Amino acid sequence: MKNSFRFVALPAEQFAPLFDQSDAELQAAGARRLLVDEKPGFPCRVSLVDAEAGETVLLLPFTHHDVPTPYRASGPIFVRREARTAQPSVDEVPVMFRHRLLSIRAYDRAAMLVGAQVLPGAELEAAIQQLFANGTASTLHIHNAGPGCYNCSVVRA
C-alpha cells in the first residue's frame, strides 16, 4: 500500500526580518550573511531549492526538533533572501534532494526516534514509503548526511 506524503518547508515569514539586521547583529545571534559562490551548495530550507551563485543567504542556527525528549535537535540552515515558502504537491520530492547523500530520521507522535536511514537522494521516495509503512512514524526529518544539516520535514498526506 502506498503512503502519500508531503514535504514541509520552513515558513519564509520566520526568517524575512533577519535580512534587515546588520552583520554585527546577525553574528551576535550566531548567524552569518553569505554570498553564494557555487550551485549546488546552499540549499534553502524555505524554498527547497539550491540558491543561485550571486544570491545572498543567511546561515543560521535553527532548532528543528523542538521537543521535550532526548531527540531535541538543532543545527545550521541556509535561507535565501526573499525566498517563498515551498509547497510541494502530495508525493512530490523537490529536486534539491535528488543529488545529495541524505539521512532520514523517523519520529513517532511522542517525538521519539523510531527509524533512520542514510541513502542517495535518488532513493528518497522509496525510503519515505518504507519508513511510513509500519504506521509508527508520524514525521520524518531529512538531513544532509555529510554535514548533518536539517533540510525539512515530511508528513503523511
Q: What is the rounded distance in angstroms from the CA atom of residue 44 to the CA atom of residue 128?
A: 21
Say whether pLDDT at 1 is over 90: no
CB-based contacts of 90, cutoff 8 Å, min separation 6: 4, 5, 6, 157
Q: Which residues of 99-129 are buried (b: 16+ CB within 10 A; e: fewer)?
A: ebebbbbbbeeebeeebebeeebeebeebbe
Which tens digits make up the pLDDT trace of 13-34? 999 999 999 999 999 999 999 9
pLDDT at position 134 is: 82
pLDDT at position 94 is: 97
Provide the number of structural domains found in the chain. Answer: 1
Question: Region 130-134: what's the mean pLDDT?
Answer: 93
Which tens digits make up the pLDDT trace of 75-104? 999 999 999 999 999 999 999 999 999 999
pLDDT at position 7 is: 98
Say whether pLDDT at 118 is over 90: yes
What is the chain's mean pLDDT, rounded? Answer: 96
Question: Region 124-153: what's the mean pLDDT?
Answer: 95
Question: Region 23-49: what's the mean pLDDT?
Answer: 97
CB-based contacts of 3, cutoff 8 Å, min separation 6: 128, 129, 132, 133, 156
Output the pTM of the full model.
0.94
How sure is the predictor about 59, in pLDDT bands with cuts at 50, 70 and 90?
Answer: very high
Residue 50: give the domain boundaries: 5-156
